[in-house]
């Protein structure tokens, strides 16, 4: 975790705290590190000296607001600025709790107001087209083709995050119970269902995987050399399927997770159940998927309400 670009030991202490105590994912730690490095660089210029410390009285609310203003002038999106403010607040709160600074200067600063952004997702027709294409790739019975179908089936059929699929091993799948154990954000484990279609795809893929693997208990998804398939490769494979079958719309692996949630809710699934399946901590995070069409809502009303005729 040591990084020579960060000269002040408080940042390293904070990152170690996040890794050890809160068990945040490596990508989250990387984001915090990048945000705090930017804050350090800004403050050095803003204060006009390189010898400042976090307890310096000039590192105040105005300084943190000035940092946000500088981010805005660089053309960063409101969502990115809000994330950087959250990183600064969390870090400064840590220093305050550790009694290294007298107060948290970022505590009362308001984040930019964000628009509620609906996640990209596929229509039912798009999903059918995507899996028709993936099935076609698997028919060649090659490692690449059968692996592509497994990737698409688990991302959509089980609603996995990219990181969860990337880190999965064969031993995490219970084919008899039709379920899978995954490790989500914050190193939290959960059990997700696995569809019959996904199990068939895995059965077709396993012989090709066994031809190249180095260890029978290795990663579920492997490359041609038998090593774990990279996140970037999984993303590229999924994106290619989406572009070939559903049109080039810039959708990523997350579009399949979004579609998983959206289609469950459209079919009448309970919001709390979908929350558990997705591994969300907050129900409000799951509620973003409740963007069902007005036509469907009217159809439900006309079917269910006794005075709708």
Instruction: Provide the annotated active-site residues.
Output: 161, 185, 254, 257, 280, 289
Is residue 114 within 8 Å of 82, Cβ to Cβ? yes
Q: Where are any strands of DSSP class E within 138-274?
A: 173-174, 179-183, 189-193
Report the chain's terminal Cα–Cα distance, integer Å.
Answer: 65
Q: Both tokens of residue 99?
A: 């009694």
In 63-115, the DSSP E strands lie at none
Integer-rounded Cα radius of gyration of the chain: 23
User: Crossing angle of helices 271-278/253-266, nearest 10°?
Assistant: 160
Q: How far apart are CA 190 and CA 276, in angstroms?
A: 8
What is d(CA 132, CA 266) in angstroms, rounded to the nearest whole number?
A: 22
| Residue 183, helix vs strand vs coil | strand
DSSP state of 214: S
The whole-angstrom separation of Cα 95 and Cα 106 is 12
C-beta atoms surrounding 88 within 10 Å:
23
User: Hey, what are 303's tokens?
Assistant: 């079917």
Tokens of 27: 């990508």
- Strand stretches in 58-145, DSSP E: none
């Amino acid at each position: 975790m040591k990084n020579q670009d960060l000269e002040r030991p408080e940042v390293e202490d904070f990152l170690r705290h996040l890794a050890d105590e809160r068990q945040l994912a490596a990508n989250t730690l990387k984001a915090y590190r990048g945000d705090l490095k930017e804050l350090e660089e800004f403050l050095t210029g803003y204060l006009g000296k390189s010898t400042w410390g976090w307890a310096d009285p000039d590192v105040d609310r105005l300084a943190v607001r000035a940092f946000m203003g500088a981010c805005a002038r660089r053309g960063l999106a409101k969502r990115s600025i809000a994330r950087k403010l959250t990183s600064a607040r969390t870090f400064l709160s840590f220093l305050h709790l550790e009694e290294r600074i007298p107060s948290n200067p970022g505590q009362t600063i308001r984040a930019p107001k964000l628009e509620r952004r609906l996640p990209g997702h596929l229509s039912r027709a798009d999903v059918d087209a995507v899996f028709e294409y993936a099935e076609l790739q698997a028919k060649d019975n090659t490692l690449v083709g059968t692996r592509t179908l497994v990737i698409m089936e688990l991302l959509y059929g089980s609603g996995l995050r990219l990181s969860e699929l990337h880190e999965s091993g064969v031993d995490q799948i219970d084919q008899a119970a039709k379920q899978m154990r995954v490790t989500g954000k914050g190193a939290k484990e959960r059990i997700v269902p696995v569809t019959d279609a996904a199990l068939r795809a895995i059965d077709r893929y396993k012989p090709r995987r066994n031809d190249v693997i180095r260890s029978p208990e290795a990663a579920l998804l492997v490359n041609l050399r038998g090593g774990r398939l990279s996140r970037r490769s999984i993303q590229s494979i999924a994106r290619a399927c989406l572009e070939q079958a559903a049109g080039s719309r810039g959708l990523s692996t997350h579009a399949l997770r979004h579609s998983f949630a959206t289609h469950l809710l459209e079919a009448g699934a309970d919001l709390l159940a979908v929350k558990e399946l997705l591994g969300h901590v907050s129900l409000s995070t799951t509620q973003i998927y409740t963007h069902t069409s007005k036509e469907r809502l009217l159809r439900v009303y006309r079917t269910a309400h006794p005075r709708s005729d």
